[in-house]
Amino acid sequence: QGGMAEIFLALQRSAATGHETPFEKLIVIKRILPELNGDRAFVDMLLHEARIAATLGHPNVVQVFDAGQIDGRYFIAMEHVHGEDLRAIVRQMKKKEVLEFSLEHAIGIVLGACAGLSYAHQKRGLDGAALGIVHRDVSPQNIVVTFDGDVKVVDFGIARSEARRSEENTRSGKLKGKVPYMSPEQARGAKVDRRTDIFAMGIVLYKLTTGLHPFLGENDI
């Protein structure tokens, strides 16, 4: 459970017909916390952005299947990614006293994440208009490496699309990224575009290859 939602591992089953065996697959359900359920502006924003994310279909982006409401609780259903995020991987490395992330793995992971982000940045709607998607929360926690070696960018739940830029809700401020990875314009609360994701991706690459944050201060702020 986080500050915005609780996450469940779920089993999706198809409806069986006749004597067929229904298929089953693991998915993830993200359910909005009850105290946020009554915030109409927040719910509208989240569902809009989940539906934007559901249009994305790329091997380096986690797939969102559905967003809606059941029994008064709002949810997002998405692909289950069997792996670990970069932050967890680095923490385990430190426990095992592995001090360096190999350069070829760092570059491979960042290339995969960049491919997914580039796809999202260039995504167009059915009318051909650019959606103007910006992830806004690129960080080690949102880059997952699967046990098969694939790289997935996750949590487009706070992504900003052009369709909602004019409806920015100040109450959603806590959702707009992690301070150590924010571009200057994002930290100032100014308008952001794809470059803010590229900036954050540069910090991730720097940290993986040097073990240090390029803008380290006494605290995050």
Residue 115 phi/psi, 5° resolution? -65, -45
Question: Rg of the Cα trace of the chain?
Answer: 18
113 neighbors 58 (Cβ within 8 angstroms) = no
**C-alpha count within 13 angstroms, C-beta hemisphere, residue 104:** 1
Catalytic residue among 39, 66, 127, 137: 137
Q: Which element (helix H / strand E) includes 45?
A: helix 40-54
Query: Which residue, among 91, 61, 98, has the nearest Cα to 79 in the 3D structure?
Result: 61
Residue 20 DSSP class: P
Q: Is 137 a catalytic residue?
A: yes
Positions marked catalytic: 137
